[in-house]
Structure 1
Amino acid sequence: MNELLRPVNTLIDPASSVIIGPSIRSAAVVRNMLMSTIPVMGVHPSKSDVLGLTCVPSIADLQTVPELAVVMVGHERVEAAVYELMDRGTRAFFFPGLGSEAGADGPLIAARIRERAAANGSMIIGQNCMGIAKPGGSPWIGSISDSFVQGHVGISSQSGSIAEAFTTIGPRVGFRFIASTGSELNRDVSDFMSFSADDPETRAVGIFIETIRRPEAFIAALEKCAQAGKPVVALKVGKSGVAKRIALAHTGAVVGSNQAFSATLKRFSAIEVEDFPEMVETLEVLGKKRRPRGVRISGVSESGGECGLMADRAEQNGLVFSQLPDATAVLLNKEFPNYLHPQNPLDAWGIDVPEVVFPRSMQILAESKAYDVLVAQVDISRFRGDDEQVWCEMVVESLGKTAEKFDISPAVVSVHSVDAPQAILDICTKYELPLLRGINSAMAALGRAGNWKKAATLNQDFGKAIEISKFVTRTGALPEYESAEILELYGVPIASRKRVTSSDQAGPVAASLGFPVVVKSDGPAHKSASGGVILNVKSEAEAIAAVEKLGGVAFIAAQIPQGVEALVGMVRDEEFGPILAVGHGGVTVESKKPVTMLGPVDLATAQQMVAESGLDDAHGVLAKTLVALGRIAHEHPEIVEIDVNPMIIYEKATIAVDALVVIDSESETK
């Protein structure tokens, strides 16, 4: 295991447990623990039974050492109880308290417990949290209903309210566990993600984040989940009102702290959502046994209008309702002549009686092997009439049977957002069918799942590091000339250039480069706004005059033909590390959002970034430059920003005409 990622297995799956200080006030956790199949004891100084929980007077009276201790006593008695249990060998603890009710003493007590826990290898969930909810009983201080069902989604939430919200969504999503991590005394979201990556029962991971306390561990956990083939769905709050740090490069100006978080998620194919309902819909799809393996979608609907709505929303969410294969269209028309010109998705209403046309249409689509997803789109609502409920149940049951027979990813999609009838919910549970509410929400969830791909590892084998020390003449922004020299060492194509220290050298140097040329002042890049760039110099005389105008010290570069301008850059985020960016360049860079991702990246990932930016990488240079910048950031942590803006994409080549490398002001240079 990565040393940054700490075990939580005994918190989630203890073999035995004890509740210290059970009472009527803690009735919920007592009930929840008694529902479990593991041995549970209580410790109470004056009661032998609390709500059916057998109790002994003291910790010393316990006949065995419990693996997990639920500590429900007041903050004045927490330490004594915890340390006594630690001395006896208990290594897993749940503290719901030590929050505001403990006043000023709370943080001090927590710090002492954290220190002792670290010394003896104890794991703690809390303080100030709801605990861990598992179907069938667990240490959770809230009520758990029968609709909270077992499944394959693991949740870690820093918010107790959000964690509790998952327990009350009904049987739509089955859960392996829900961890309310609270103030994360010595176990955090990253540790529970790591458990999920290793756990054979977990298929998908959901995280609700307020703050990242250990960025390196978070990155390690994201990578571990990605490599295990387990998608992470993330919802983060606290994005507003964050001041951007001052940046010397354009890349730094367009990549702030929130973008860095999103870029880190993106690097490991984690799915970022903006609201709780989005999170539920997406996890509902990913937690099922037949999650989408691609974006080719087919469907059967009860409405032509809803077919059109599905098709529109599918395209917006990266899904494709592709044309029916010729043989499939012929077969549909043969068996159901009223399908005059069958299209995907199919409007089956009125084609034949529902109990014939819906099941058979779905079978024909699945038999074609042309699709990754099969949707049954029916208007499911507990407020529909009894007659409609009967055939809706039939359609959903038919979808389940078809998915099992043909091993295709199924989804029930309703135009409604209201609760489904219990009979429909039972069928969906029986066949592990996601029941998605609202067509746009459904297509978004299916699109996220279908587009998910296993991410490349962060560790790239670049070979021997390239030495650049002779070009690092100072901290801060390096002169453009030295910046370009560094980038060229890594294979970034940059316009040919030569430095001149007097106007006498300008004519011959310009002629050797070939006219027209550009004359630039010899300093950091991005000088055009201050008059430090003179374009279209077409003769030796003009070159001499240009150098004299710039003070006699300058450099002269070949002028590249006009073309599409692109930005490729890197900014080192203080928490997450090097963030790579690619997008439209030149003077429009700060008005057009670039595509960002944590680096380094491999070539395939870089090509994916460029494609997403909408740029045509005709010569493959943009993607290779992203790889190069990731390598530079990996090999030279003293480099905090790189800006290649613009790179000009023209008919014959893609070449950079500006380069900026920024050295950390705290690093040492020769």
Structure 2
Amino acid sequence: MGHTPADANRDALRAANLRRLLNPASIAFIGGRSIAGAVQRCRDFGFTGDIYLVNPTHAEIDGVRCHASIAGLPSAPDAVFVAVPAVQTVSVVRDLAARGAGGAIAYASGFSEMGGDGTALQATLLETAGEMAVLGPNCYGLLNGLNGSALWPVAHGAARVDEGVAVITQSGNLAYNLSMSSRTVPFAYLVSVGNQAMIDVAQLIDAFLDNRKVRAIGVHLEGLTNVHAFSAAAARALAKGVPIVALKSGVSKLGAQLALSHTSSLAGSDALYDALFKRLGVIRVKDPVSLVETLKFLSLAGVPKNGKLAALATSGGDAGLVADLAETHGIEFPPVTSQGRAALQQVLPAYANIANPLDFTTTPWGNPDAMRVCCDALLSDDPGAAIMILDYPKESTGEHPDCDIAAHAFADSARRYGVTGAIISVFPDLTPPDHAAQMAAVGVAPLQGLSEGIAAIGAAMWYGATRSRILEADSLSALPVLQAGQGTGSSCLYDEWDSKRMLAEYGLTVPASELVPPADAPAAAQRLGFPVCVKVVSEQLPHKTEAGAVALKLDSPQAVAQAVERMTQSVAQYAPEVKVKRILVERMASAPILELIVGVKREDDFGLALVLGSGGVLVELIRDTATLLLPVREEDVRAALLGLKLGPLLTGYRGGRHADLDAVARNIMAIAKFAQAHADRLMELDVNPLLVLEHDAVAVDALIRLDA
């Protein structure tokens, strides 16, 4: 059954109620004696709206009045924290829906993550919620740093902010630890989603995109419940210029197993998630610290306008480290201009090496005017971003004032020249909180840790370049992933002859060939012209090489006849059930520059994915592949090809032949067009190898499996 008008109306009401939940004017807490502390936490956080306690057995808890029932509340609360056992949670949510509450956080575990009865209980929870928005179950809650609402079971360390980042995580413990971190990240929202029974990551992204105070969105994923919805939400974020930073766990085999059991969400293929994020301009990070530092840079400093970096350091060693780290992220260092060089020569000693990154030596240290000259010299030439490497020593050294002079000179130059700026400490613990707060207040990101800081800047530059490329190509509408059919469970495998004919109709280049009975193979070879190859054709024999059902480089009718006889005997031993009735005779292609494998794999959540890689005997050895989600653009195919480990072979590596890249891209796009045209039925497609030639490309083997 499709999405009915009634479904659409319910979804719209839930979306409105989700916004009530995220930005409440009134809050209720339902549970035992421990909930009284939540009231004080909200007041300490600065929440000024109404707060109610609901408990049927206590008139008051720790001096806070309790209401005996949900029906007896003075008004329907916008947001409710439900801290009762799983079975009781269902009845509480039913009463809240009847009262007209906006949304609820279901804190209890014991739902679908447990399987069995828990899955049924979660379904009942959704049914009883009606139009109300429910976050969880099995989730930690929600912090709103903009209005001070803390729907949270314990203490937290978040601070009030005027604007900042929204972070969505499937791990309650990670949410708690993020709130306690001392890395100066402005949390506008911190949300734990648990099982995502009703409200998933995509819906939260959509809601946050409607809030102008959210400058960036962080997402910690174990798995997505709706890839297509996430894709659409991320495309909307890209259009609005709100960066998304994703930390995806479940990469390892063990990690994937843990994700499946933890919140009942499938981790999926990491390569497909990687392809999804690249397609949508989603920044991917590898660990929580990188997540925090990247979000901090984006929210406080912003997105650099280009990939060029100006760097100032207090030592030559730090300058060298910056140069090395930046190179791995493709960051450019523009040379110091002649005007900048002249200015620096006025304040630096003769032995100073005037370059970018700049070691400004100790000469200008403690001198505000000299420090400003150093900063201006590098920042005035329109770099996309600028950094100063600055580690504060212990306060007892008395050197903090000199460090402050350098930091404020840098911040002043960054503001005057409109440069995205960051102060980076090599060692994370050498960033004092007061210094970090001062820098954040003037729009300079206080990044902690040199490697993580440079990676954050490189990621922000990648985001800016990716967004510009997509917007310039006007391809936002093509970003959401292709939705494939669900399939019936049974399938039809097509042999090589039929597979090639089907793909050729969409533009795939295949060799000149004939399909004949075994006795006619020599004559067919004579007609095609030597050398030829011959193959046994049968849908029961998809892997012909292992069966000895292929013979190459045959140069006479006699050689063809002998090869057919050998193959017939080999197949009889390998697969006695297969009767050799048809032989494919093909003209041999010339020696290729490279063999490629081009395949399409189907994933229920991701639709169809195009996989490109080095083919032939190298497939398993070097695992040189790239994955692109359909629909795909030709420029993305070209970039993926050139990004392979063996990609340099396509462009004349070390004086070698240049491949016909146009022909290669055209053939891959033909495969993609076939896949998109058969998205409702395609289960599997494999072209291996696609021979890359100097003046063409040709597919010499293919296999297609369609849903029956």
Q: Which residue is 2:219 aligned to? A: 207
Name the CA distance, whole Å, in 2 between partners of 1:265 and 1:116: 35
Q: Please tell me whether residue 140 in structure 1 is matched to residue 171 in structure 2.
A: no
- Tell me the distance in 1 between the aligned counterparts of 2:255 and 2:248: 17
Instruction: Give the superposition deviation at 1:374.
Output: 0.5
Query: TM-score, normalized by length of structure 1?
Result: 0.86
Give distance in 1, aligned partners of 2:83 and 2:352.
69
Shift of 1:18: 2.3
Cα distance between partner residues in 2 of 1:592 and 1:140: 46
Q: Deviations over 1:296-348 (max 9, x none)?
A: 21201011111111111111122222433455445534664637652210110
- Classify 1:379/1:115 alpha carbon distance in 2 versus 1 (closer, same or farther; 3 Å): same
Whole-Å Cα distance in 2 between the matches of residues 432 and 460 of structure 1?
32
Match of 2:102 among 59, 69, 91: 91
User: 2:422 corresponds to which residue?
Assistant: 411
Question: Once the 2 structures are TM-superposed, how far is the Cα of residue 147 of structure 1 from its aligned partner?
Answer: 4.4
Pairwise CA distance, 1:531? 2.8
Give the deviation of 1:599 after TM superposition: 1.7
Counterpart position of 1:360 = 373
**Greater alpha carbon shift after TM alignment, 352-361 vs 160-169:** 352-361
Tell whether the 8 Å contact from 1:510 to 1:543 is kept in structure 2 after alignment: yes
Is the 2:356–2:378 Cα contact (8 Å) retained in structure 1?
no
Does residue 302 in structure 1 map to residue 314 in structure 2? yes
Which amino acid in structure 2 is aligned with residue 84 of structure 1? Answer: D
What is the DSSP-based 3-state SS (H/G/I as helix, E as strand, rest coil) of the residue aligned with 1:59?
coil
Q: What is the percentage of aligned positions where both structures have the same residue? A: 27
Is the contact between residue 28 and residue 140 of structure 1 (CA under 8 Å) also seen in structure 2? no
Aligned-partner Cα distance in 2 for 1:330–1:644: 61
Give the direction of change, closer, same or farther, for the CA distance of 1:350–1:239 in structure 2 (3 Å limit). closer
The one of 639, 646, 655 aligned to 1:608 = 639
Compute the displacement of 1:503 (Å).
Answer: 3.9
What's the counterpart of residue 640 of structure 1? Answer: 683
Secondary structure of the residue aligned to 1:230 is: coil
How do residues 177-576 of structure 1 correspond to structure 2 at under 5 angstroms?
A: 177-241=189-253, 257-333=269-345, 336=348, 338=350, 341-355=353-367, 356-369=369-382, 371-381=383-393, 383=394, 385-452=396-463, 453-454=466-467, 456-457=475-476, 459=478, 475-507=491-523, 509-523=524-538, 527-551=544-568, 553-576=583-606
Out of 608-617 and 52-61, give the one that drifted further: 52-61
Closer, same or farther in 2 for the Cα pair 1:221/1:460, shift >3 Å?
closer
Q: Quick one: distance in 1 between partners of 2:253 and 2:84? A: 39
Q: What displacement does 1:540 show?
A: 4.2
**Which segment drifts farther, 611-620 or 585-594?**
611-620
Describe the superposition over 1:332-371 as per-residue Cα deviations: whole angstroms up to 9, x where unpaired. Answer: 34664637652210110135445344322221222111x2
Question: Does the 8 A contact of 1:338 with 1:351 survive in 2?
Answer: no
Deviation for aligned residue 1:132: 0.4
Provide Cα deviations, 1:244-280, integer angstroms capped at 9, x if missing partner.
9xxxxxxxxxx98232233323322223322211211
Amino acid at match of 1:522: V
Q: Give the secondary-structure state (helix, strand or coil) at the position aligned to 2:704.
A: strand
Separation in 1, partners of 2:144, 2:623: 45
Name the counterpart of 2:72. Answer: 61
> How far has the Cα of 1:289 moved from its partner?
4.4
- State the SS of the aligned residue for 1:487: helix
Residue in structure 2 matched with residue 17 of structure 1 by the alignment: 27
Once the two structures are superposed, residues 177-218 of structure 1 have per-residue CA deviations (whole angstroms, 9 ceiling, x without a partner) of 011112233212222122233332222221222233334433
**Cα offsets for 1:93-122 (capped at 9, x unmatched):** 12222549x9998666543221122xx311
**1:418 Cα deviation (Å)?**
1.2
Between stretches 45-54 and 280-289, larger displacement belongs to 45-54
Q: Distance between the aligned counterparts of 1:517 and 1:150, measured in 2?
A: 73
Cα distance in 2, alignment partners of residues 566 and 79 from structure 1: 55
- The structure-2 alpha-carbon separation of the partners of 1:78 and 1:545, relative to structure 1 and needing over 3 Å to count, comes to closer
Residue of structure 1 equivalent to 2:181: 169
Offset at 1:437?
A: 2.4
- Residue 629 of structure 1: how far off its partner (Å): 3.5
Q: CA offsets per residue over residues 359-391 of structure 1, 9 Å max, x none?
A: 22221222111x21101112235x365443222
Give the deviation of 1:14 after TM superposition: 1.9
CA distance 1:620–1:172, change in 2 (3 Å): farther
RMSD: 3.4
**Aligned-partner Cα distance in 2 for 1:446–1:385:** 32
Q: How many residues align?
A: 639
Distance 1:457 1:621 in 2: 27
Tell whether the 8 Å contact from 1:32 to 1:139 is kept in structure 2 after alignment.
no
| 1:471 alignment partner in structure 2 | none
What residue in structure 1 maps to residue 38 of structure 2? 29
Distance 1:538 1:565 in 2: 23
Structure 1, residues 158-180: CA drift from partner, whole Å, max 9, x if none?
11101111111125211120111
Structure 2-normalised TM-score? 0.82
Q: Kindly provide the amino acid, as one letter, of the partner of residue 26 in structure 2.
A: S
Higher relative CO (Cα under 8 Å, sequence separation at least 6) belongs to 1
Deviation digits for residues 500-528 of structure 1, max 9, x if unmatched?
32443534x43554433322222466533
Q: Cα gap change, 1:342/1:504 in structure 2, threshold over 3 Å: closer, same or farther?
A: same
Q: What is the CA–CA distance in structure 2 between the aligned matches of 1:287 and 1:498, rounded to whole Å? A: 63
**Cα distance in 1 between the residues matched to 2:352 and 2:511:** 61
Is the deviation greater in 492-501 or in 54-63?
A: 54-63
Q: Give distance in 1, aligned partners of 2:251 and 2:398.
A: 48
Query: Shift of the alpha carbon at 1:92?
Result: 1.0
Q: Give the corresponding residue for 2:138.
A: 128
Q: 3-state SS of the aligned residue for 2:639?
A: helix
CA displacement, residues 213-232 of structure 1 (integer Å, 9 cap, x when unaligned): 33443333333333433332
Q: Is the Cα contact below 8 Å between 2:407 and 2:423 reproduced in 1?
A: yes
- Measured in 2, the distance between the counterparts of 1:405 and 1:241 equals 50
Distance between the aligned counterparts of 1:63 and 1:628, measured in 2? 65
8 A contact 1:204–1:286 mirrored in 2 = yes
Q: Distance in 2 between matches of 1:611 and 1:504?
A: 43
Question: How many Å separate the matches in 1 of 2:88 and 2:559?
Answer: 85
Q: Summarize the Cα distance change of 1:178–1:622 in structure 2 as closer, same or farther, 3 Å threshold.
A: farther
Give the letter aligned to residue 530 of structure 2: F
SS at match of 1:528: coil
Residue 281 of structure 1 deviates from its aligned partner by 1.6
Secondary structure of 1:613's match? coil
